[in-house]
Each structure stands twice: as C-alpha cells, then as structure tokens.
Structure 1
Amino acid sequence: MADLFDTGATPTAPSPRNRPLADRLRPAALDQVIGQAHILGPDGPLGAMLAANSLSSLIFWGPPGVGKTTIARLLADATDLHFVQISAIFTGVPDLKKVFEAARIRAGNGQGTLLFVDEIHRFNKAQQDGFLPHMEDGTILLVGATTENPSFELNAALLSRAQVLVLERLDHDDLERLAGRAEAELGKPLSLTPSARERLIEMADGDGRALLNLVEQVAAWTVDAPLDPQALGARLMRRASKYDKSGEEHYNLISALHKSVRGSDPDAALYWYARMLTGGEDPRFLARRLTRMAVEDIGLADPQAQTVCLHAWETYERLGSPEGELALAQAVIYLALAPKSNAGYVAYKAAMRSARETGSTPPPMHIRNAPTKLMKEQGYGAGYAYDHDAEDAFSGQNYFPDDMPRAEFYAPVERGFERDLKKRLDWFTRQRATREGQT
C-alpha cells in the first residue's frame, strides 16, 4: 500500500535497502502524511475526532495511492486499537466470522479493534449487513476504503453508521514533496532535467504509490547526463488514466462533457471528449450522447445540430477509429458553438405531465375522427374548420379538450432559429385571440 511521507519526516530506524521504496517511506505518525490536510488538519473531521478522543467508524472514499491504508493504520496507532486489515476481494464469510470472533475475544481482554476493509464495496449486501451488529456493540471500529462512490455501492444501513470522508488525489506540490522525501531516502537526486522531473510527476497522475514506483525505476538507471522529457518518455510508459467505463468516473466525465457543451465552451468540451476516448470509452456511446445534447440543449434553436450529430455518427460507423472520431470531435465543436435552447425539452416534459394529469379526457367533437355514418350522426367531426380554406390558412379553432383550459407548453427563446419560431408563435397567438373575439 502507498505510504505518503512529509519531506520533513525522519525514519525511526534504518531500513534494509532491499525493501520497496514505498515500504521504506512508511509514515510513523499522522503528521507525516502528505496530502489530505482537509481531513487530518486540526479543523478537519479526523483531527477533531482525535482531539476529542472520539473516533467513529469511517469510510474512506478516494482514488488509489492517496493514503487510505496508511491513514487507517496510523489511526489505530493513535487510538491504541489493534489493527486488522482484510480485503473484500479475498475474504469470505468464514473469514469474517473468524475476524469478528478474534475481535470479540480481544474486546473481552480490554483491547479494541480497528478493522480496515480494503475495497469494501466488493462485499455484497448480506456481507455488508454482517458488519452492523459488531459495529453497534463496539466489537470493532470499522474503517472501509473504496474507490467507488459509497452512495451507489454501500448499503444505507452501513452508511448510516459510518462517516464518509473523501480523500483527494495528490496535487503537484504533494507529489513534489514526496519525490523529495524519496530522494532523501535514496541518498541522491534523480538524474532528470527540471522539465523531465515535471513530466515524471505528471505521469504519476495524483497517485503517490505510482510516483514512488516511478522514482524507484529512475533511480536504478545509470546515465551519463540528466534525462530530458523525451529520453524519460522513451524509458517509461505513461500510466493509463483512471477511467472505469461503468463506474463513477464515466458519469463524471460525460457530465463534464455535456455541461461544457451546454456552456458553449468548445475547448473544454473537446478536452473532456478526448479524456473519455483516451480512457477507452466507446465512441458510439459518445455519438449517442452528442445527439442527445443536440435534442435537449440546442433543439429548435439550431435544428441542423441534430443532422450534424447523426452524420458524424454515420461517418464514424463507416470510417471506424481513429479517423471517425474526428467527425465526432467536429460535432462536439458545432454543438458547443450552436445557439442553445431547451424550450422544446421543457415543453415536452410539461405536455407529458399534463397528459398524465388529465387522464383519458377526449378530444373536442369537431376534431374527432368520423369514419362511419353512426359517428357522424353522433356529431363526430361536426364544425371542423379546414385550415387551408381559412384566411392565412389558420382557422384559430380550439384543439384542446372542451373542459381543459388552453395550455402553453412551448416558450421559444430569442436565440438562433427559435427567434423566428417565436415570431410565428406570437403571430398565431394574436390571430387566435382575434378570431376568438370575433365569435
């Protein structure tokens, strides 16, 4: 597991040189942890709990390599609790029973247990429920770690008994401090130019464990002169971006893309589009979502937007990757720069809501279908005014149910093509009022 040190930390004892660098840099106290000041500081939730000597069960939610395991271990040390670590991936129900029984015996002897469960979201509902009685009677203090959104992956009962703390990816300064601490432990600086050092930190992508692994590789090389970014890139592969096509990151990035388009920012929209592609997203999913943006957020302000998306989608299907992805990128740009209107979307939702509320209210008699003599005798279709025969091809008749007040669902905006549609709608509204006043 990642061990994130402050550059000012002093190892308590010499470490054998054959141990991994991450293990050699294991913090001895919480104040040596790099990053996560928002939860560990005096005003943070953990800082406040420790100051009050009142630690509760916790769920650590954050990306890999930010110190979840390390902080849990140090919390046990700070509170004199026995630390037990398990992984949901490798632990079954029999193993859990043994863990709980050992904790119960320990409690009987006056020793509390901090049970750290890595990847806790991997446990199913029944297994998660199994923790509850042992949390409630104080047998264990649970600290779970997850990279997935607890709201989606953990039971409400478990969440109600634990406080969720969000751990953040390490920023540039955090990683720079960690690299400096690693160089101090190694006893030599990394043989990198300043720009190559920046590239190395960038490659870690906010993951402290990944950075230490990269530092260890670079430190083992024998080079005649400091490596520049190109030489570093030739020797090291950039780590893959964190992206789960079915997980929260998928929804975060598509949300960022959609909102960038809605916000008329083509550069940001292209960035998130590229992020999803480099993460392995299916371009067909993106094509579908772009078409949805054209329908929902642009609509009749630029009816051509839908056509652009459908043509880009078809182009991708014909060309495939990577050439077809350019067509989708151009659709992203077009959508971002198109005039925006959700008037059609709002009108549709309002009409659906009204349809549900009015149930099976029939149409007025004059616009009902009258295919038989009996139906005509019953008044079906009687009084219908054929609009093409009326002045300006507009009769102004009522087409809503007789007992339903006239509704106004569609309110076009003064942007793009909808500006013209608004003029038409206003004209029809005035004509309808005139015709009604004449009857």
Structure 2
Amino acid sequence: MAVTLFDETTHRPLADALRPETLEEVIGQDHLLGENGPIARMVSGGTVGSFILWGPPGVGKTTIARLVAKSAKMEFVQLSAVMSGIADLRKVFDTAKSNRTIGRQTILFVDELHRFNRSTQDALLPHVENGSVILIGATTENPSFSLVAALLSRLKVFTLNPFDAASSELLLARVENFVGKRLPLTADARTALINMADGDGRYLVGLADDVFSLDEAEDLDIGRLSKALQKRMPVYDKAQDGHYNLLSCFHKSLRGSDVDAALYWGARMVDAGEDPMTLFRRLSCVASEDVGMADPNALPQVIAAWSAFERIGWPEGRLFIAQAIVYVATAPKSNASYRSFDAALEMARQTGSIPPPKSILNAPTKLMKELGYHEGYKYDHDYPDAYSGQEFFPEELRSKDTRFYQPQERGFERETLKRLEFWQRLKRERKQAK
C-alpha cells in the first residue's frame, strides 16, 4: 500500500497500535486461550466450530475472532448487527460458498449479534448447520436471553472476563514498552487509572494515551489525574444483565446477612444510576421472603424508609436506604411463612373444591340455619386462653395432621413456635377430655 502524506501526521490510537498479532499475546483471557483453554485447543486441533464470545466491552472479542481466523488460515468477514441485515448476510453466504469450492473456509464474525432480530438470527441457522460459514458472534448481553433458542443450541458460548488488576497492569506495561517511557503517575494514581477503566482494556489504553498527551514533567497524583481525565460511569445497563446481576448480588447478600456486602452492592447500583425505588422494592421482598416472621418489624421498617425517601429525596434519602439495608441484612432470617403458603397452594390445587365445615359458615338466612350452617361453632373468646380447639379444615383433611407453617427457632418466630405448640397441646387435652 502506498504511503500517503497523512500517514506521518495522523496519530494512530494506541489501542489500534497495540492490537495483538497472535492469540498468545491476548491479555486477560487465559481460561480460553491458555494451553488448556477451549479456544486454544480448538485452533491447535484444527476443529474450529461456531461459537459466541460473551463479555463486557473492551476485553478482546473482536481481536480473538480475527486471530482465530488468522491462526486457522480461514477467510475472515466482519459484520455489525447494528449496521447489517439479511441482504448483507446473503452476500457473505454466496462468497463463502465460492470459497468452499477452492477449499477455503469462511469465518463470519458478527459484532453485537444480539442486535439481530429473530428473523435475521433464523436466517443464519441453515448456513451454520451445513457448515458453509463458521459463525463467531460477539455479544455484551446474556445469550440465554438475547439469542433465539435454535441458534443458541448450535453454538458454544465462551465467557470473557473483564480486565482485573493484574491483567490491567500487564496491559499498562505493554503500553509503556511501546511508547518507550513510563506513565507519569504516582502508585495511587496508577491504581485509580485502572479503576477508572472498570475492566475495559481498550478504554484503559485510551486513558493511558490521554495521560501521555498531557506531557507532565512530574508524576500526577489522584487529585490532578481526576481533573485531567473524566471518570466514566460504571458499566451498567439498567434494562439488561448489569441490572439483574447486581440486583441478584444485593438480594443474596441481604439473605446471607452480610451487611457490608449488601451496602456495597446497593451503593454500586445507586452510583450507576439505578432508581432507588428498585432497591426499596427488593428490600421489601427480602423482608418477607427471607426475614419473614423471624422479625416482623423488617417489612414496616422498609416501608417507613421508603416513604421517608419519597418525602425527603436526595441527598438525605441515602440515610433511609442505608437504614433499611442494615436492618434487613442484620435481621434474623426465616422463609417459613412464604414456604407455608406455597405448600398450602399446592394442597389447594390437589384437593380442589372440598366443601368447608358447616360449623364455620355463617347462616344469615333461615334456610341456611335449617341446613346446619353455623351449627356447633365455638366462639373462641368464650374459652380459656381464647382458644376453643375446634376444627377448621374440611373433614377429608383432618386425619392428615396438616402443618404448612413450620416456624424456625430464630428471632421472633421462636415465640410464635411456642404459641403454636401451646395451642396444639390445648387441642389434644380438650379432645381427650371429651
């Protein structure tokens, strides 16, 4: 290719200049590309098949696809699902068929594969099945939710990791080696730079490029670095995986009584722009599902904090979020109440419309009284301890000694268990006294 006047004056982005030339040079994905990694074995064994690369932005999905094609000596065609459609796919399929006649296999790389609609994804199926193309898809979204089942069943899914601290350090060292000088940063500022990238290797290289362009005479500390560079928002899509993943971490930390982790995941969501109402809705669910009768004050506490937040707003609203999180996370836990209702629902489905005992039915008319409605009903307040011990289950279920609610020996539920055992004893004694 001829050298143009602009080649010497145009700045080439570091991320492009540092793009790996072999799979061995790819950083941060050793679980896939290392000696025993599945992609490495696939390439070395000459058995490259269709697969999905699922991971956050800037971790090497496009690079890996390109290098797999290069290592396997296959044609490489790249499309973006945002910009392409069925007409573009047809052109690729036609070219791939021609390549096969001369013994060349084609790898079709589709970036943002999840952006293809259902019909376009379906159009890929026959060509993936008959091997006319090897499909490598890249997606930032969970393939289980974003790809049609028929296509997903024909693809292996490989998950790429965000850059951790060690991988980020290796990447920065590669940047410094390429530029020929070290980044003018203090140790703390270097760590802060890595944190700003939030696991995105491409973005980290861009930040390093920006630091070099500052041409600082002395090392930047965190304060000067933050002024020079704009920190980006954490990778978090409130409508997609980021939302559900962090919400799952939040819920499980609350259930697991890890108050510090619950505060952290809650803060992560708020910092990323999540609606605080989402946190309060989840706290309400945990207060019933996982705390339940072990501390019946948990739900009123959450609702009160929720109400206070709606009345006060930010920034003081964080006080109410914090109190609700701490209360629910540190409360004793029991799921007995909701499990008991699930068990009751199951029995209700199995038993159908068994008629209730007439004794506990009201008799507002003369006919109903003549039919025995309300006959034999025992008014509990007429008995010691306000407990009559009468039967409320349909007669067909009384022999089963049905017990849905099984309280735990934790928190307030311990007292509930004592009351239930007391009433059971009274019922037995009164039956024996008859």
TM range (shorter): over 0.9
Question: Hey, what does 2:268 align to over in structure 1?
Answer: 275
Aligned to 2:22: 29
- Are 1:80 and 2:104 matched, yes or no? no
1:378, distance to aligned residue in structure 2 (A): 0.7
Tell me which residue corresponds to 2:334.
341
Residue 103 of structure 1: how far off its partner (Å): 1.5
Select the residue among 42, 53, 61 that pairs with 1:68: 61
Structure 1 runs (4+) deviating above 6 angstroms are 14-17
Q: Are 2:151 and 1:162 equivalent residues in the alignment?
A: no
Tell me the SS of whatever aligns to 2:324. helix
**Aligned match for 1:307, one of 297, 300, 308:** 300
Whole-angstrom distance in 1 between the partners of 2:88 and 2:368 = 75
| Residue 15 of structure 1, CA deviation | 9.7
Shift of 1:109: 2.6
2:4 counterpart residue number:
none
- 1:193: how far off? 1.3
Structure 1, residues 176-206: CA drift from partner, whole Å, max 9, x if none?
1111111111121111112211111111111
Q: Corresponding residue for 1:424? A: 419
Distance 1:323 1:87 in 2: 45
**Residue in structure 2 matched with residue 129 of structure 1 by the alignment:** 122
Mapped pair 1:174 → 2:184: no
Aligned to 1:362: 355
Match of 1:8 in 2: none
- Residues 1:15 and 1:86: Cα distance change in structure 2 (over 3 Å): farther
Alignment of 1:280-291 (within 5 A): 280-291=273-284
Is contact 1:400-1:406 (8 Å) kept? no
Q: 1:438 is matched with which residue?
A: 433
Out of 92, 102, 114, the residue aligned to residue 109 of structure 1 is 102
Offset at residue 222 of structure 1 (A): 2.1
2: CA distance between counterparts of 1:414 and 1:273?
29
**CA offsets per residue over residues 377-405 of structure 1, 9 Å max, x none?**
11111111111112322111110001113
> Alignment partner of 2:318: what SS?
helix
* Residue pair 1:175, 1:201 contacting (<8 A) in 2 also: yes
Q: 1:15 to 1:39 in 2, by over 3 A?
A: farther
Gap runs ≥5 in structure 1: 1-13
Q: Which amino acid aligns with 1:347?
A: S
- Structure 1 residue 236, shift from structure 2 partner: 0.9
Distance 2:135 2:89 in 1: 13
Contact 1:112-1:140 at 8 Å conserved across structures: yes
C-alpha contact (below 8 Å) 1:15/1:24 kept by paired residues: no
CA contact (8 A) 1:82 1:111 kept: yes
Distance 1:299 1:414 in 2: 13
Letter in 2 for 1:306: L
What is the TM-score with the length of structure 1 in the denominator? Answer: 0.95
**In structure 1, what residue type is equivalent to 2:417?**
K
Q: CA–CA distance in 2 between the matches of 1:195 and 1:324?
A: 32
Aligned to 2:3: none
Structure 2: distance between partners of 1:353 and 1:93: 48
Q: What per-residue deviation string (whole Å, max 9, x for no partner) do you get for residues 241-283 of structure 1?
A: 0111111111111111111111111111100000000111111
**Structure 2 regions of 5+ residues with no counterpart?**
1-6
The yes-or-no answer on 1:91 pairing with 2:48 is no
Q: Does 2:194 align with 1:201? A: yes
SS of the residue aligned with 1:75? helix
Structure 1 contact 84–115 (Cα < 8 Å) conserved = yes
Q: Report the Cα distance in structure 2 between the residues aligned to 1:158 and 1:168, rounded to whole angstroms.
A: 23
Match of 1:414 in 2: 409
CA–CA distance in structure 2, aligned partners of residues 179 and 209 of structure 1: 11
Mapping for residues 255-274 of structure 1, pairs under 5 Å = 255-274=248-267
After superposition, what is the alpha-carbon deviation per residue over 1:161-180, rounded to whole angstroms, capped at 9, x for unaligned?
11000111111111111111
Secondary structure at 1:403's aligned position in 2?
A: helix
In structure 1, the residue corresponding to 2:396 is in which secondary structure? coil
Report the Cα distance in structure 2 between the residues aligned to 1:180 and 1:391, rounded to whole angstroms.
81
Which range moved further: 34-43 or 103-112? 103-112
**Paired amino acid for 2:248:** S
Query: In 2, distance between residues paired with 1:257 and 1:280?
Result: 15
Q: Distance in 1 between matches of 2:235 and 2:8?
A: 32
Offset, 1:224: 2.5
> In structure 1, what residue type is equivalent to 2:413?
E
